[in-house]
Amino acid sequence: MSHFPFEAQRSQFPILTQKAQLSSCSQSALSIPVTDAIARYMASWSEKGMDWGGWAELLDDARAQFARLIHADASDIAVMSCVSDLASSVGNCLDFGDGKNAIVLGEIDFPSLGHVWLAQQARGAEVKFVVPDAAGEIALEHYSQAIDGRTRLVSVSHVSYSNGFRQDIAAIGALAHAQGALFFVDAYQSAGAMAIDVVRDGVDMLVCGGQKYLLGCPGIAFMYVRRDLAQQLRPANTGWFGRVNPFAFDIRLLDYADGARRFDTGTPPYINAAAAGAGMAMLNEAGIGRIEAHIENLSRVALDTAASLGLPIASPRDPRRKGSNTAIRVNDSAGVERRMAEAGYVVSARGPLIRVAPHFYNSEEEVAGAMRALARMG
Q: Give the footprint of ligand PLP on this chain (CB under 6 A).
A: 82-84, 110, 112, 157, 161, 186, 188-189, 209, 221
CB 135 within 8 A of CB 107: no
> Where are the alpha helices (H) located in 126-248, listed in sequence order?
140-146, 169-178, 227-230
Pairing of strands 205-209, 345-346: unpaired
Q: How far is the CB of 171 from ligand PLP (least distance, A)?
A: 19
Angle at 281 between CA 290 and CA 321, to 5 degrees: 35
Q: How far is the CB of 364 from ligand PLP (least distance, A)?
A: 25
Residue of 255, 238, 273, 216 lying closest to 55 (CA atoms): 273
Cβ neighbours, 10 Å, residue 376: 10
In sequence order, the 6+-apart residues with CB closer than 8 A to the CB of 245 are none
- The DSSP secondary structure of 331-346, one letter per residue, reads SSHHHHHHHHHHTTEE
Nearest-angstrom CA–CA distance, 44 and 168: 44
Closer Cβ to ligand PLP, 143 or 161, answer by number: 161
3-state DSSP percent of the chain in helix, strand and coil, to 5: 45, 15, 40
**Cα maximum dimension of the chain:** 67
Closer Cβ to ligand PLP, 125 or 191, answer by number: 191
Q: How far is the CB of 134 from ligand PLP (least distance, A)?
A: 22
The dihedral formed by the CA atoms of 141, 142, 144 and 148, expressed in degrees to the nearest 10: 160
Q: How far is the CB of 53 from ligand PLP (least distance, A)?
A: 28
Q: How far is the CB of 276 from ligand PLP (least distance, A)?
A: 12
Closer Cβ to ligand PLP, 327 or 373, answer by number: 327
Q: How far is the CB of 99 from ligand PLP (least distance, A)?
A: 30
- Residue 345 half-sphere exposure toward CB, CA atoms < 13 A: 27
Beta strands in 102-219 (DSSP E): 102-106, 126-130, 151-157, 182-186, 205-209
> 75: phi > 0 → left, psi -120 to 50 → alpha, else beta; which?
alpha
Closer Cβ to ligand PLP, 9 or 81, answer by number: 81
Supply the DSSP symbol for 255: P
Q: How far is the CB of 208 from ligand PLP (least distance, A)?
A: 8
Closer Cβ to ligand PLP, 9 or 89, answer by number: 89
Closer Cβ to ligand PLP, 6 or 222, answer by number: 222
Closer Cβ to ligand PLP, 87 or 373, answer by number: 87
Q: How far is the CB of 316 from ligand PLP (least distance, A)?
A: 16
Q: How far is the CB of 11 from ligand PLP (least distance, A)?
A: 28
Closer Cβ to ligand PLP, 186 or 264, answer by number: 186
Closer Cβ to ligand PLP, 269 or 319, answer by number: 269
Angle at 47 between CA 41 and CA 52, to 5 degrees: 55
